[in-house]
Structure 1
């Protein structure tokens, strides 16, 4: 499934579709899901920049919007990062709040079970590939590399990452190996320091979210370079 960027002529309709999926997903669960989804919808409708995919907001302001304390904000944002819905684009610094980005594709994948509830037209619309610019000639791509098969945790995590984004997997995640998993922490080995640092900064949230679906006990991720 591809999710078109919500900008341009069809942007308003796509934004409503995403918010509708979130709302119905919330109502299909218990009161804890209701509250969590309402909180992320509040961030989207009040502070999210759809065009740049940026959510620039500090913990104090989030607490005010949610009518909670900052400890609750820290806990809730950690849950959203673990689910792969939010990642830190730029951490907070002196005089500057943190900048987050939303993974709209992961959000829609996680709400797919309620699409038929909204309607067959909604489901069909969400399953369609976004229209491509007919003036653009696509480059020839390499044959897809299949993900590793197996029942062990790391193979299942790799399979999830491949299914989520095959091109990203072939460029980055397939080069990782699991070195250790114990005490709620998974340690992965990358072939170079550059790759280890880049994945840790850019994609650790997505890898941790995949782990959460296979082994929820994994709450911390370390990515180290091979010696």
Structure 2
């Protein structure tokens, strides 16, 4: 997916599109998710630096903005990190607050089911702008096999993760994820076997975070993914 970059001539429209997607997602969810999304939107509109992808604000200031105590801030920010919507870019130290960033790709993926609630024009505009682009330095004579149609879904954790990945982007799943085989779980790490070294390297370089998130959301106890080849 090519993430919306809210910079340049159409920056304002792109910002509104992202916030609209979050709004639609929150309104369609339960009251807990609604509140979490609203709180993040408050941080984005008041404190987020779009050009630098930086959110630098202390817990005390967040608590004041949200009208809550700092314990609630810690709990809610932890939820956003687990969702993958925010990431720590620089850990705070010596009196300095942490520098956070937004995972715009993850936010778009999670809000996509609700885009239609805004309208078909929004789906066409944002869907067209956020279509996956194979931006990797992939050799032009190497084309990933379309494996999805002829491969039976796996069972267990990898099967649940496959279902999530296919729902997010079927074409991407067929090209890269469907060909992975379950190599077993050891501790908090799931091993997946790729058909070729190139296949494994491509996923490791460009798609590992999406893969890891799907696995973690299927089983919170498994946070790591390791790729191997036969």
TM-score normalised over the length of structure 1: 0.70
Work out whether residues 84 and 208 of structure 1, in 8 Å CA contact, stay in contact via their aligned partners in 2: no
Question: Using the alignment, how far apart are the partners of 2:51 and 2:183 within structure 1?
Answer: 35
- Secondary structure at 2:223 match in 1: strand
Map 1:212-227 onto structure 2 (within 5 A).
212-215=216-219, 218-219=220-221, 221=223
Q: Tell me what 2:92 maps to.
A: 92
Q: Tell me what 1:64 maps to.
A: 64
Structure 1 stretch 19-28 or stretch 145-154: which is displaced more?
145-154
Map 1:94-133 onto structure 2 (within 5 A).
94-129=94-129
Find 1:180's aligned residue among 172, 186, 209.
186
- Secondary structure at 1:87 match in 2: strand
Map 1:1-227 onto structure 2 (within 5 A).
1-129=1-129, 140=140, 142-144=142-144, 150-154=154-158, 156-157=160-161, 179-181=185-187, 186-188=188-190, 209-215=213-219, 218-219=220-221, 221=223
Work out whether residues 87 and 100 of structure 1, in 8 Å CA contact, stay in contact via their aligned partners in 2: yes
Q: Tell me what 1:194 maps to.
A: none
Work out whether residues 216 and 222 of structure 2, in 8 Å CA contact, stay in contact via their aligned partners in 1: no
Work out whether residues 87 and 102 of structure 1, in 8 Å CA contact, stay in contact via their aligned partners in 2: yes
Structure 1 stretch 146-155 or stretch 13-22: which is displaced more?
146-155
Structure 1: any 5+ residue segments left out of the alignment? Answer: 132-137, 191-198
Q: Tell me what 1:135 maps to.
A: none
Task: Provide closer, same or farther for how the CA distance between residues 219 and 42 of structure 1 changes in structure 2, counting only shifts above 3 A.
Answer: farther
Work out whether residues 212 and 225 of structure 2, in 8 Å CA contact, stay in contact via their aligned partners in 1: no
Question: Using the alignment, how far apart are the partners of 1:150 and 1:223 within structure 2?
Answer: 16
Question: Cα RMSD over matched residues?
Answer: 3.7
1:139 CA displacement? 7.1
Structure 2: any 5+ residue segments left out of the alignment? Answer: 132-137, 193-203
Question: Using the alignment, how far apart are the partners of 2:72 and 2:97 within structure 1?
Answer: 18
Question: Using the alignment, how far apart are the partners of 1:62 and 1:11 within structure 2?
Answer: 25
